[in-house]
A = this chain, B = another copy of it.
Amino acid sequence: MKLYIKLAIMGFTAATLAFAAAVVFAQDPLPSWNDGPAKQAIVDFIQATTTQGSPKFVPPAERIATFDQDGTLWVEHPIYSQVMYCLERVPAVVKVKPELKDVEPFKTVLFGNREAMAKLSLKDLEKILAATLTGMSVDAFNAEVKKWLETARDPRWKRPYTELTYLPMQEVLKFLRANGYKTYIVTGGGQDFVRVYSEATYGIPSEQVVGTAGATKYGYDQSGKPFLTKEPKLLLNDNNAGKPEGIHLMIGRRPYAAFGNSTGDRQMLEYTKAGDGTRLAMLVLHDDAKREYAYGPAQGLPDTKVGTFTQALYDQAKKQAWMIISMKNDWKRIFAFAQ
C-alpha cells in the first residue's frame, strides 16, 4: 500500500505504473523524517483515508488538515516573529505620534534593552500590538510586513524568519496536499500578518490561513476609492478554545488531521480527534537543544514563555492517542539550510 501512496503523490496514473514503479518506489515523501512511530502514523493516516475502498476513506472535499504555526511549522523561540515585528515597528509609530515617546510601554521599547523588553506585561504587549497592527489600511499593513520580512533576521541563525520553517513539516504539508488534503494554518498569530508570507513560505494561500483576527472598517479615500482600515476590535482570539471556534467560522468542517506544539493547540487536537473515522493529532516536542531548542516542562525540559508544552498536555496526548513528534529523534533534518 505504501507504493500506492507514493505513486499518488507523484501524480502518476495507473497506465504509467508498469514503467514508473521501480523508480518511484525509491521516492520517500518524508525524507527528513527518521523511521519511527511518528513518521509511520502520518503514512498510515494518509493510506487509510485516501485509499479507495478503505473503511476509513475520506471524500476529497472533506480532507482538511490544520497546522499551528509558531513552534509547529517554524521557530518560535526565543520570541514570536510577529512580536518582534511589533516591537521593531514602535519607532515608526512614535514618529507619527511623538506624544507616545514618553508613555509606557513605548518608552521602554524605544530606549530599553532586551531585558527590559522581556519584562513587559501582557497588557503592555497588547498596547504595542494595538498600536502597530491597527489604525492603518490593510494595504499599508501588508506592505510594511513585506518590507520588514525582507530585512529582519533571526538572532541565532541570522536568516530571514521565513527560512526558519521545519523541513519535515514542509514535507508533511506537501504529502497531505499531494493526497488531496487542503492544508490550513490555524495560528494564535495575526491572520493578516501570516497571510503576507503563507503562500510563498508554506504554499498555503491566504484563504487557508485562520488566525487571530480583528475587525476592519470599509471607507473611502479622498478620491472616492474604497479601502479597508484595520480596527482595534478583536473578532477572533485564535488560541485555545478559539482554535476550534475559528475553524468552524472559517472552514465549517472538522479537520481530519491537526498538528500543534503547545497548550494553545489542545482544543484543536481534541476537536479533531473527536470526529468519526481515522483522525490524526500530533504534537511537536521541542527536545533538541543542539539543532533547535529544548523547552516545555514535559520530560523535564525548562519552561519558557512561548509554546508551553505542559506535563498535563503530555499526559492528555498519551491518554487520547495523540502522537508526539520528538524533534531530536524523529527529524533527520530540521532546516532546509542545514544538513
Contact = CB atoms under 8 A, between A and B. Distances in A.
Contact of A252 (B182, B191, B236, B248): B191
Contact of A226 (B206, B226, B250, B270): B270
Contact of A244 (B207, B226, B241, B274): B226
B226 A245 contact: no
Nearest to A142: B252
B207 A253 contact: yes
B253 A206 contact: yes
Interface in A243-264: 244-245, 248-253
Nearest to A198: B252
Contact of A251 (B207, B248, B251, B267): B207
Interface string A197-213: 00100000111010001
Interface of A: 61, 64, 138, 182, 191-192, 195, 199, 205-207, 209, 213, 215-218, 225-228, 235-236, 241, 244-245, 248-253, 267, 270-271, 274
Contacts of A207: 64, 182, 207, 250-253
Nearest to A244: B218
A69 B257 CA distance: 32
Central interface residue in A195, A218, A235, by most chain B CB within 10 Å: A218
Contact of A138 (B209, B225, B227, B248): B248
